[in-house]
Structures are given as C-alpha cells and as structure tokens.
C-alpha cells in the first residue's frame, strides 16, 4: 500500500490547492477552539489563583486562629472533627446532621443539634422513633449502619466524658494564659509571642515553634499598627488634613483613601508628621513601616477580591462550570457542522478527482484516509491558532483581574495541559466531522470520472 508520507502529501496538496476555503475552515475551528481554550484557561487560572489565595488568606488569619484558641476552649464538635480518627462514627454522623435541611432535622431530632442529638438518642424510645422517621425518608441514606450507630450511642457517654476532660484541660490552659497577659488585650500580648508571652503559651501546654512565634508576633504587630492608622479616620483634624491634600470633602474621606495614599513614600511621611502633630502615639512607626502596612492591606484586599472572583470555580467539565460546559459543547457542535459542511463541499467539488484516483487503482480506505488527514491538518492548524488566541485573551484578561497574584500562581503545567487538550480537541473535532464526507468520497463510483460537465 501507499506510504503514509505520500497520503499526507496528497492531502496537504488538496489543502494548498483550495487555500481560501481551507482558511475559512481553519478560522471556524480556530474560533471554536479559542472559545474552549479561553474558558478552560480562565477556569484553570482561577483555580490556581483560588488555591494560592486560600493559603495566603489562611496565613493572614493565623493571628485570629491563635486568638480564638487562646481565649475559648474548643467545642465538642471541633474536638471530634480535630480527632476524627478516634471517633469516626461521630464525625460521619455530625457531617450527616449538619447537611440535613431544617425540616428533616426537626423530625429526626427535635430541637437538638449536633452532639446534643447523641444525648437525646440515649433514650431507647427516642432511638426507636428516630429510626422509624429515618426509614420514612426515602431520599436520605444514613451513612452508618443501624447496629454500628446503636453501639456508638452506647459508647457515647464515655466519649463525652473524654471530651469534657479535654475541654477542662484547655480551660485551665486558657486561665493560665489569661494570667500571663494580665491587663493587656490578647492581640497586644501576642505582639510578644516571640518573647515572654510565647513562653507563657508554651507553658500553658500549647505547641508553638519559634518560627510560628515570630510570624505570629510580626502579624500581631502589623494588626495593631494598622488599627492605629485606621483609627485616625475618627480624628477630625487628620481627616481635614487628608481632605485638603487630596482635594476632597472631609466627609468623603474613607479608610481606603487613606490607605491608598499611604502607599506613596512622601505621603506616608507627611501623614506620620500629621499624626504626631495631632498628638497620637507614633513612636513605633516610620514611613517605611507605614508603607509596608499599606502594601500589606492592598495585598489582603487583592486576596479577598480574588477569593470572591474565584468563588464560582469548579463543577462541570474540568471545572469550567456547568453552564460553560454546555456553551463549549454547543460551540463544538456548531464547529463540527461547519467543518462537515466544508468537507462535503470539498468532496463534491473534487468528485472527478476522487473518481479518477479510483480509476487509477486507489482503494476506498486510501480515499477515506486522504480526507480524514486533510481535515485533521485543518484541525491541527485551527487548533493551534485557536488555542494561542484563546490563551492570550484569557491570560491578559485574568492578569487585569488578579494582577500580581497571577504572577505568583501562574499555572504553567495545567495551562500547557489545557492547550494540549484544546489542540487535540480541534484535531478530533475535525476528524469526526470528516467521517461522513470521507465516507461519501470513498463510496463514489469510479465511473463518475467519465462524466463530462
């Protein structure tokens, strides 16, 4: 049989000979693939940014987590979730109850919530009615078998006792912390987390390594100083000064305006002077520090914005969302129809050529292969062009949305994979669309070559 190179050459010559229509076909594929790549790329970038933002936000809120830990003991639910390995049934059941809608929970457990339900079900009669009600809810499947659940309920009082013990210990530790911080607020105390207060935390039985202590202290200081600066908004003189500098009405001055202004070196120095003049305590601050705080806040705001913008990621095909999946599928369908039409035209226009080739001894499979390859060449060209276009559009757009955050969380790997997928999709679509036209070409009778137009 014919060498593959020759088949490709014949197919390629076919493309070159009808360059204009081939270009239009390529454009159709390119548009569809640009669309696909665009939504795919945006969702991949959003996903990557969302992950980066989430971990950074967690980092930013570390102080809050510590404050909570150092001021109240964990709830029984939190303890169960933190130590799920020790009571897996309890965790599964809590999960189940928390996902129930209000009406169903009401029927199953009355007014009781979370761990109270376990207390409630200690009563045999209540247990009976609980399972009866559960059996009535056809749409819901209780994640734990009945026997397992009953045996867990039997062991619940003991578990509850353990939890209470843990909580008491935590309360005792918190009491010691409270002694250690004395009159200070807990945030103020945390600014010394790298010093004596850190030692107090460790003494109380919490785990705190040196690096964590350092970041904690720095963060606490940042928060304290930021609060100091944000409080100046309530200071009438300062407000008026800013209003004069910014050429605004004093009533229009917001925290955001002040922070934005402070990112500029001159302004931050000026503002510090103003603050000192107004009799505020600014001993710990200098212009560089104020700028650092302003930058920190800008970053935090960007993170929050990123979190909001990425809230809709996930779901549908490869996380592009249900709606977008449909749109992509429809665009691909339109593309397939377009290519099929173009290929049918190509076959009709070339029927004499095809018939002649068959007279010269071409097999049906050869004719089919030529047309499939011709279409695949168009698909490859369109796929590459479309992918590039879509990629550029989505990267530029996403850069304007996420700015510096994108540079840190640019998903090279998954975008490359997405591009590969979209190019492959282009080739596949073109090949699929060419199946019927190439079948028609292959079935063409060789005697058509004798026909005279």
Partner 1 sequence: MKEEQTVQTSAGERRIIIRTIGMKKFYNRKGQITQALRGVDIAIFDAEFITVMGPSGSGKSTFFNLIGALDSPTHGRVFIDEVDVAQLTAEELAFLRCRKIGYIFQSYNLIPYMTALENVTTPMAFGGVQTDEARKRGMDLLELVGLKERWFHRPIEMSGGQQQRVAIARALANNPTVLLCDEPTANLDHHTGDEILAILQRLNKERGVTIICATHDHRMMNVCDRLLWIRDGAIERIARRDEVKVELGGID
DSSP-assigned letters across all residues of 386-436 = HHHHHHHHHHHHHHHHHTHHHHHT--HHHHHHHHHHHHHHHHHHHHHHTHH
Return the residue of 68, 265, 363, 420 that touches partner 1, per CB under 8 A: 363
Is residue 14 at the binding interface for partner 1, with CB under 8 A as the rule?
yes
d(CA 320, CA 394): 13
Q: Which of 181, 192, 239, 358 binds partner 1 (CB under 8 A)?
A: 358
- Measured over the CA atoms of residue 113, residue 119, residue 121 and residue 123, the dihedral's sign is negative
Instruction: Indicate whether 6 belongs to the interface with partner 1 (CB under 8 A).
Output: yes
- For tokens 């939890």, name the residue: 163
CA distance 371 to 18: 13
- Closest CB 389 distance from partner 1, rounded Å: 29
Alpha carbon distances (Å) from 202 to 4, 166, 196: 74, 17, 10
Of 251, 361, 396, 400, which one interacts with partner 1 (CB under 8 A)? Answer: 361
- Selected from 357, 372, 419, 444, the binder of partner 1 by CB under 8 A is 357
Whose Cβ is closer to partner 1: residue 310's or residue 438's?
Answer: 438
Does 4 engage in binding with partner 1 (CB under 8 A)? no
Nearest one of 58, 55, 44, 53 to 403, comparing CA atoms: 53
- Decide whether 357 or 425 has the Cβ nearer to partner 1: 357
Here the contacts of 10-18 (C-beta below 8 Å, separation 24 or greater) are 10/370, 11/370, 11/371, 11/373, 11/374, 11/377, 12/374, 12/377, 14/346, 14/350, 14/370, 14/374, 15/374, 15/377, 15/378, 18/346, 18/349
Q: What are phi and psi of 310, to 5 degrees?
A: -100, 10
Contacts of 105 (CB under 8 A, 6+ apart): 97, 113
Q: Which of residues 97-126 bind partner 1 (CB under 8 A)?
A: none
Q: Could you give the CA distance from residue 216 to residue 230 in angstroms, rounded to a whole number?
A: 21
* Among 96, 131, 351, 366, contact with partner 1 (rule: CB under 8 A): 366
Whether 378 contacts 29, CB under 8 Å: yes
CB of 348 to partner 1, least distance (A): 16
Q: Does 221 bind partner 1 (CB under 8 A)?
A: no
Per CB under 8 A, the segment of 6-14, 248-256, 300-308, 330-338 that binds partner 1 is: 6-14
360, 400, 407, 412: which one binds partner 1 (CB under 8 A): 360
Cβ 341 to partner 1, closest distance in Å? 22
Question: Given the rule CB under 8 A, which of 11-19, 125-133, 242-250, 294-302 is the region that contacts partner 1?
Answer: 11-19
Binds partner 1 by CB under 8 A, chosen from 54, 260, 352, 397: 352
Q: Binding pattern to partner 1, positions 17-46, x when CB under 8 A?
A: x-----------------------------
Q: How far apart are CA 26 and CA 377, in angstroms?
A: 9
CB of 358 to partner 1, least distance (A): 7
Q: How far is the CB of 410 from partner 1 (least distance, A)?
A: 44
- Which is closer to partner 1, CB of 43 or CB of 375? 375
User: How many angstroms separate the first and last alpha carbons of the chain?
Assistant: 32
Q: Does 359 bind partner 1 (CB under 8 A)?
A: yes
Among positions 2, 24, 304, 333, the unique one binding partner 1 when judged by CB under 8 A: 2
Q: Which residues bind partner 1 (CB under 8 A)?
A: 1-3, 6, 13-14, 16-17, 352-353, 356-364, 366, 445-447, 449-450, 452-453
């Amino acid at each position: 049989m014919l060498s593959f190179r020759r088949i490709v050459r014949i197919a390629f010559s076919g493309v070159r000979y009808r360059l204009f229509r081939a270009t239009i076909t390529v454009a159709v594929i390119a548009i569809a693939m640009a669309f696909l790549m665009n939504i795919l790329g945006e969702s991949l970038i959003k996903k990557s940014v969302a992950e980066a933002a989430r971990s950074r936000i967690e980092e930013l809120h570390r102080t809050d987590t510590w404050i909570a830990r150092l001021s109240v003991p964990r709830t029984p639910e939190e303890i169960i979730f933190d130590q799920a390995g020790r009571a897996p049934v309890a965790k599964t059941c809590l999960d189940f109850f928390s996902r129930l809608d209000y009406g169903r929970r009401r029927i199953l457990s009355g007014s009781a919530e979370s761990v109270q339900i376990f207390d409630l079900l200690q009563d045999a009669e209540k247990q009976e009615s609980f399972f009866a009600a559960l059996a009535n809810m056809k749409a819901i499947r209780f994640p734990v078998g009945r026997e397992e659940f009953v045996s867990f309920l039997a062991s619940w009082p003991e578990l509850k006792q353990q939890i209470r013990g843990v909580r008491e210990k935590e309360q005792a530790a918190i009491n010691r912390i409270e002694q250690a911080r004395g009159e200070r607020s807990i945030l103020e105390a945390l600014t010394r987390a790298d010093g004596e207060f850190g030692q107090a935390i460790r003494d109380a039985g919490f785990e705190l390594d040196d690096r964590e202590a350092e970041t904690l202290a720095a963060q606490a200081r940042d928060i304290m100083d930021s609060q100091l600066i944000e409080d100046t908004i309530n200071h009438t003189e300062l407000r008026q000064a800013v209003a004069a500098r910014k050429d605004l009405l004093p009533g229009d001055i917001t925290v955001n305006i002040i922070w934005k202004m402070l990112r500029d070196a001159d302004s931050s120095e000026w503002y510090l002077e103003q603050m000192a003049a107004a009799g505020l305590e600014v001993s710990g601050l200098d212009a560089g520090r104020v700028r650092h705080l302003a930058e920190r806040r800008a970053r935090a705001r960007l993170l929050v914005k990123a979190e909001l913008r990425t809230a809709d990621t996930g779901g549908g095909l490869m996380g592009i969302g249900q709606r977008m999946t449909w749109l992509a599928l429809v665009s691909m369908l339109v593309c397939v129809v377009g290519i099929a039409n173009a290929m049918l035209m190509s076959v009709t226009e070339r029927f004499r050529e095809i018939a002649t080739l068959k007279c010269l001894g071409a097999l049906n499979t050869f004719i089919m292969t030529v047309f499939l390859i011709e279409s695949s060449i168009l698909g490859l060209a369109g796929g590459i062009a479309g992918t590039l276009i879509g990629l550029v559009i989505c990267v530029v757009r996403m850069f304007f949305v996420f700015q510096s955050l994108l540079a840190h969380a640019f998903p090279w790997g998954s975008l490359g994979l997405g591009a590969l997928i979209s190019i492959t999709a282009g080739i596949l679509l073109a090949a699929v669309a060419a199946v019927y036209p190439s079948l028609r070409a292959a079935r063409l009778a060789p005697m058509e070559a004798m026909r005279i137009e």
